[in-house]
Amino acid sequence: MIPTQNGWWQEFRNDSTYVYRGQYSNGKKEGYWIYFYPNGKIQKQGDFINGNMTSWWQEYNEQGNLIYEGQYSNGIKYGYSKSYKNGILQSEGKYISGRQRGTWKYYDELGKMMKIQEHD
């Protein structure tokens, strides 16, 4: 029988860099988790409840620039989110049950608003 994962866990690559760090409770991810690229930069970070992504998450590219931040509920995008390219805001709006809803704003590569679009 394989024991149930509990407590703090971390996984390392062969070169001793982190893959992830986080906590398990009864075999499910719980609390704050952080994932890393092989270069040591943060890939993504956020919270889990009962094995599902929840609350506010942030994702980064391999250079360490923020590319996404947004809310999750039960592992599904839910609530306000923003996406970025080269540190410049590209889009922002709300998700409901994993789908874009309501007013979304889209920006060009300089951060100037290009369009506003309604999603049903």
**Range 10-17, long-range pairs (CB < 8 A, 24+ positions):** 13/38
CA separation for the pair 108, 85 (Å, rounded): 10
- pTM of the predicted model as reported, rounded to 2 decimal places: 0.88
The residue among 67, 66, 13, 58 whose CA lies nearest residue 40 is 13
CA separation for the pair 120, 104 (Å, rounded): 11
Task: Copy the structure tokens of residue 112.
Answer: 């100037």
Fold of 7-119: 2.20.110
CA separation for the pair 12, 35 (Å, rounded): 11
What pLDDT was estimated at residue 78?
Answer: 95
What pLDDT was estimated at residue 1?
Answer: 57
Q: What are the extents of the domains in the chain?
A: 7-119
What pLDDT was estimated at residue 2?
Answer: 62
CA separation for the pair 100, 25 (Å, rounded): 32
Question: pLDDT of the chain along its 120 residues, tens only?
Answer: 566 888 899 999 999 999 999 999 999 999 999 999 999 999 999 999 999 999 999 999 999 999 999 999 999 999 999 999 988 999 999 999 999 999 999 999 999 999 999 998
